[in-house]
Amino acid sequence: MNRFLLFVFLSALSLSAAAQDPKPLLKVIEGQRQAWNNGHLEEFMQGYWKSDSLVFVGSNGPKHGWQTTLDNYRKSYPDKGRMGYLSFDIREVRFIDPGNALILLKWQLKREKDEPNGYSTILMKKIAGEWKMVYDHSS
């Protein structure tokens, strides 16, 4: 009986540790960074939940929906020059539960004439086995 309880306890610890692993979330963020730096907005958008329930909050307030978010990115960043080179500094990854996590990051764009930067707070949710951004507040 004691071995069984030990097995259950160790199994629960191992599942908990796997659920708290930030690497899969950071892989999504890194994939977005690479897609952005290659000038591929549609590929960049693969990190977002493809749903009308996606929320993106930027300088013009909240916008809803994956397509709306892509359209706004296209309008603001019509070419590689406007997109520039994107870098992230991950400040914090905080798991709410095994299927939801918050990421706080600092972002910076390097462009020919300027270097805008700011912060993003991102809610990621595990959907159909994949981590997706469901809420992004960037300033």
Strand locations in the chain, DSSP E? Answer: 55-58, 61-64, 85-97, 100-110, 117-127, 130-138
pTM equals 0.84
> What CA–CA distance (Å, rounded) separates 130 from 127?
5
Res. 2: pLDDT tops 90: no
Q: What is the mean pLDDT of residues 113-131?
A: 97
Let me know the angle formed at the C-alpha of 36 by 46 and 54, rounded to the nearest 5 degrees: 35
Confidence of residue 17 (pLDDT cuts 50, 70, 90): very low
